Amino acid sequence: MKTLCLTLAGLLAVPLILMPLAAQQQKPLDDIDTPITVDVNIVNLYCSVRTKQNGLINSLTQNDFDLAEDGTKQTIKYFTKETDLPLTIGLLVDVSNSQRNLIEIERRAAGSFFSSVLKKKDVAFLISFGADSELLQDTTGSPRTLQEGLSRMKLNGGFSGINSGPVPTANRPRGTVMYDAVYVAANDMLAKEVGRKAIILITDGEDQGSRETEKAAIEAAHKSDAIIYGILYVDRQFYGGFGGGYSGEGTLKKMAEETGGRLFQVDRKTTLENIFDQIQQEMRTQYAIGYTPTNGKRDGSYRKIDLRTSIKDLKVQVRKGYYAMAAQQ
């Protein structure tokens, strides 16, 4: 596991975990206020459901869902509507050269987001990434403390040598270590947390110089049970007006959709504030589903999940699968 050095001193999350044996008595989801802990292996899902017009649906029942794992039908054992379970949010902000003209807008919008979204028991942390990845604020429930972290956010676009920042990178030119930042947020910050977990990633989606790959970043998000919300924010002038030479949208979309999230885009009609508001609504409007997989092996393999509704034209937003990790791994 990488070690994150602190140079300055967590949406809809769709957490999914294969729980170890426990001595606690089974309880239905709607009887408790904390994530499920039961006496059998349980896979927990949080999902949202949308119409074709992208409206959120919160009136479904357990009988409206069909669930399969690796093509084998599964029985839903727990079901409830959850709006107030604690959130852990990791906000990751691109401060590379291509975002030079956007940093102040990102700072103001993020401050407003933290002030409006964090409720009792919610926590968040802040990471910026450019040539290096830097933890600006460790996990806290204080919007004021997070605002102080945002005040330390600055441009970081140049090459700065091996191990000069909190995320070591290879001896090669670096510009936007996005994959490294996601990996650290998932593996070092969120893996130890419980409940609903989300990574909100504000960037133009371009990576340059990360040690970790796109695949490793997505896998780390899966293993930490975190969803990635991608916010595509592009300075078109940096890429030549219409964005010539820019190719990050596909990468950001893949990272979001593989982990059960969505890709948003800042444009003339949709501001960063609008997007933060949509993410907040998603994180507070979801269904909690638990099931015991028919394949009880904990061999570390990746299991594909297919969760859908029997109602036409409704789309379920949930991660693509999970890793059946052994206990305490």
Would 4 be classed as within a structural domain?
no
For residues 319 and 227, give the distance between their C-alpha atoms in angstroms, rounded to a whole number.
7
**Would you state the pLDDT for residue 241?**
56
Q: Which residue has the higher pLDDT, 8 or 155?
A: 155
pLDDT tens for residues 96-146?
A: 999 999 999 999 999 999 998 898 899 999 999 999 999 999 999 999 999
229 is written with which tokens?
Answer: 């919300």
CB-based contact 101:236 (threshold 8 Å): no
- Single out the residue of 283, 316, 302 nearest to residue 43, CA to CA: 302
For residues 29 and 78, give the distance between their C-alpha atoms in angstroms, rounded to a whole number.
6
Query: 187 and 118 share a domain?
Result: yes
Query: 70 and 99 share a domain?
Result: no
- Residues found in the chain: 329
Q: Check which CATH number belongs to the domain holding 273 and give it.
A: 3.40.50.410
Query: 122 and 209 share a domain?
Result: yes
CB-based contact 197:14 (threshold 8 Å): no
For residues 112 and 115, give the distance between their C-alpha atoms in angstroms, rounded to a whole number.
5
- Single out the residue of 51, 115, 118, 48 nearest to residue 88, CA to CA: 118
For residues 293 and 76, give the distance between their C-alpha atoms in angstroms, rounded to a whole number.
10
Q: How many domains does the chain have?
A: 2
Would 152 be classed as within a structural domain?
yes
pLDDT tens for residues 1-27?
A: 444 443 333 433 334 444 443 333 344
**Would you state the pLDDT for residue 188?**
97
Query: 76 and 150 share a domain?
Result: no
**Residue 323: CB atoms within 10 Å:** 18
**Would you state the pLDDT for residue 81?**
86
Query: 266 and 312 share a domain?
Result: no
Would 178 be classed as within a structural domain?
yes
> Has residue 166 got a pLDDT over 70?
no
- Single out the residue of 156, 153, 163, 152 nearest to residue 178, CA to CA: 156
> Has residue 164 got a pLDDT over 80?
no
For residues 86 and 72, give the distance between their C-alpha atoms in angstroms, rounded to a whole number.
32
Would 23 be classed as within a structural domain?
no
Work out the end-to-end distance of the chain between its first and last CA atoms, rounded to an integer number of angstroms: 11
CB-based contact 293:43 (threshold 8 Å): yes
> Has residue 160 got a pLDDT over 60?
no
Residue 321, beta-bridge partner list: 304
Query: 133 and 197 share a domain?
Result: yes
Average pLDDT over residues 148-159: 88
**Would you state the pLDDT for residue 31?**
41
pLDDT tens for residues 169-211?
A: 444 456 899 999 999 999 999 999 988 899 999 999 989 999 9
Query: 262 and 170 share a domain?
Result: yes
Domain that holds residue 232: 87-283
pLDDT tens for residues 214-269?
A: 999 999 999 999 999 999 999 877 876 554 556 689 999 999 999 999 999 999 99
DSSP state of 292: -
**Would you state the pLDDT for residue 148?**
97
Q: Check which CATH number belongs to the domain holding 40 and give it.
A: 2.60.40
pLDDT tens for residues 64-99?
A: 999 999 999 999 999 998 767 789 999 999 999 999
Query: 241 and 316 share a domain?
Result: no
Would 79 be classed as within a structural domain?
yes
- Single out the residue of 222, 232, 250 nearest to residue 319, CA to CA: 222
Query: 244 and 109 share a domain?
Result: yes
Query: 151 and 171 share a domain?
Result: yes
**Would you state the pLDDT for residue 328?**
55
**263 backbone dihedrals φ, ψ, rounded to 5°:** -100, 125
Query: 60 and 76 share a domain?
Result: yes
pTM exceeding the 0.85 threshold for the entire prediction: no
**Residue 148: CB atoms within 10 Å:** 16
Would 103 be classed as within a structural domain?
yes
122 is written with which tokens?
Answer: 């919610």
Q: Which residue has the higher pLDDT, 288 or 306?
A: 306
Tell me the three state secondary structure of residue 62.
helix
Would 22 be classed as within a structural domain?
no
**Would you state the pLDDT for residue 167?**
44
DSSP state of 225: T
**Would you state the pLDDT for residue 12?**
37
Would 3 be classed as within a structural domain?
no
